Chains A and B, each alone.
Chain A
């Protein structure tokens, strides 16, 4: 197992908003070390002057008329909410 020295798993977990157990942190660090050392092979490639590809085909913004259309009814939009009250999603207190 190889380790990437600057892979700070606690910082990544925080950035990803994902709580990890001690066991997960140890395992993922080792496995991601392996994967990242494999990915290091990309550094061999000469990318001088190469444009990045975000999508396989060029995409252009498409404009349409701003016309009112029926949207998802409130009851359907809320049908999967973990908690709701008065047609709103309810969450624990954020600001005291």
Chain B
């Protein structure tokens, strides 16, 4: 039995749209109806513009009727994390400081999605300025995990994950600085792809930590991830860190690359703190690969235990600098309780930023401040080199690495809120990938006895997304996890 429209894949829906079985307007109406039914419980969105998405759908249908359909994304509603600019739509980063901000232009990924015919749908909730692992740091309150509404959907792109898992979109975009796409994907039974640093333009993405941030898709299947990546990848002269690399046909590569692969298991990723049910599911996935003839190689990433420390120095240093632009002068909240110019900055920021953002700005200011720069920031950048070298050394013998995505399944709302350090440690398996600039994908690999999703992370070589996705697809096709749906 086919899933309801709002739970189908891009691949299925684009075939139905192309054959004329459904129209984009009908699809959007199904998604809107579903959203109205579940959104009060899930709280995935910061805002939604139904009129706008219906107009986009009508335009897509008109294009198709004229024989000018643009490709597999044409007519498909794709939700965007509320840090990605869409011309004329709100852009808040789930922060009070941008509560009334409206984007004056499109992000490059938005331009590219529109050029592919995709419908930009809604502004999705996140931890304020993408700082967090649960969406509990949102000024608008947390999103909820559709698999258990008392639990977090992960973060920071938790709204993007919750919306897709709840059937409120057909795919979504998030951003990933330390695991913010892969971890929520794991916690919500989705595919979450963080591309190689530089593959997808960051122009129009609100910056958190510029040397780590990447935009990527949440989808229901690996094939859909390939389709969305196809639309958003590529060099952009508006992003000075964008890379000029040849973009393959990702979907076509999926079926061409059949392995067997040499896959690395890093013992540092299976140590203390790993939930036994997660360990068991990931081990079963490793056994699957061995069973199809892959060689499983034990490798070592000896600097793994320093990754979180290096990350929180580098990320907070970059954030304290990036967020200096929110000063109450040109845009964003301006305090009325001010006497002079410096007062405007200090007071507007005090009123506009939430707790975690303030904490990270202060930490970042500390590690960059005179007398501490060498001890913290410079040292962290050197440790970053060592972490990166660990991965590159492993890739001399393996094609990709298999790890758990998150050490635990979804935790309860409020469980870690009072202890920032324990929240930071939940990113332990994802952060190294950002520091090294590598691509990583989380795919569903099972459930706990309590019915909570578990994710497998596959870490690829730089710019080898096609190979990494083919490895992911080989597991996905032999299992039915992606077809399971939450009871909402």
Which residues of A are interface residues toward B (Cβ below 8 A)? 7, 9, 11-13, 15-20, 24, 28, 31-32, 34-36, 38-39, 41-45, 47, 50-57, 59, 62, 64, 72, 76-77, 79-83, 89, 91-92, 94
Contact = CB atoms under 8 A, between A and B. Distances in A.
Given A12-B365, A56-B436, 8 more contacts: A24-B355, A31-B421, A36-B366, A41-B309, A52-B384, A52-B385, A55-B437, A82-B332
B305 interface: yes
Nearest to A21: B350
B381 A32 contact: no
Contacts of B104: 72, 76-77, 79-80
B313 A39 contact: yes
B437 A57 contact: yes
Contacts of A94: 340-341
A47 B211 CA distance: 21
Nearest to B104: A76
B327 interface: yes
A54 B320 CA distance: 16
Interface in B368-407: 369, 376, 378-386, 388
A92 B340 CA distance: 7
B424 interface: yes
A91 B385 contact: no
B161 to A, nearest CB: 25
Interface in B238-264: 240-241, 243
A44 B211 CA distance: 24
Nearest to B353: A18
Contacts of A76: 104-105
A78 B364 CA distance: 30
With a 10 A CB-CB cut-off, give which of B100, B310, B345, B362 has the most chain A CB atoms: B362
A45 B386 contact: yes
13 contacts: A15-B369, A19-B350, A35-B420, A35-B421, A42-B309, A42-B313, A51-B385, A53-B382, A55-B211, A57-B198, A59-B240, A72-B105, A82-B332
B369 A19 contact: no
Contacts of A19: 346-347, 349-350
Given A41-B309, A55-B211, A82-B334, A16 B365 contact: yes
A80 B98 CA distance: 9
A19 B311 CA distance: 26
Contacts of B345: 17
B359 interface: yes
Interface of B: 100-102, 104-105, 197-198, 211, 237, 240-241, 243, 303, 305-306, 308-310, 312-313, 320, 324, 327-334, 338, 340-342, 344-347, 349-350, 353, 355, 358-359, 361-363, 365-366, 369, 376, 378-386, 388, 420-421, 424, 435-438, 462
A47 B369 contact: no
* B contact patch SS: helix
A82 B330 CA distance: 7
B381 A42 contact: no
Contacts of B380: 42
Given A31-B359, A32-B359, A53 B241 contact: no
A25 B93 CA distance: 25
Nearest to A37: B421
Nearest to A11: B369
Contacts of A57: 197-198, 243, 437, 462
A63 to B, nearest CB: 11
Contact of B349 (A17, A56, A64): A17
Contacts of B330: 80-81, 89
Contacts of B327: 17
A23 to B, nearest CB: 11
Contact of B328 (A44, A59, A82): A82
A48 to B, nearest CB: 9
B381 A53 contact: yes
Contacts of A81: 330-331
Nearest to A83: B334
Contacts of A12: 362, 365-366, 369
Contacts of B303: 45
A53 B388 contact: yes
A53 B366 CA distance: 20
B55 to A, nearest CB: 21
Contacts of A36: 363, 366
A61 to B, nearest CB: 8
B435 to A, nearest CB: 8
Contacts of B365: 12, 15-16
Nearest to A9: B362
Given A80-B101, A94-B341, A53 B363 contact: no
Given A20-B350, A52-B384, A82 B310 contact: no
Nearest to A35: B421
Nearest to B365: A16
A90 to B, nearest CB: 10
B29 to A, nearest CB: 32
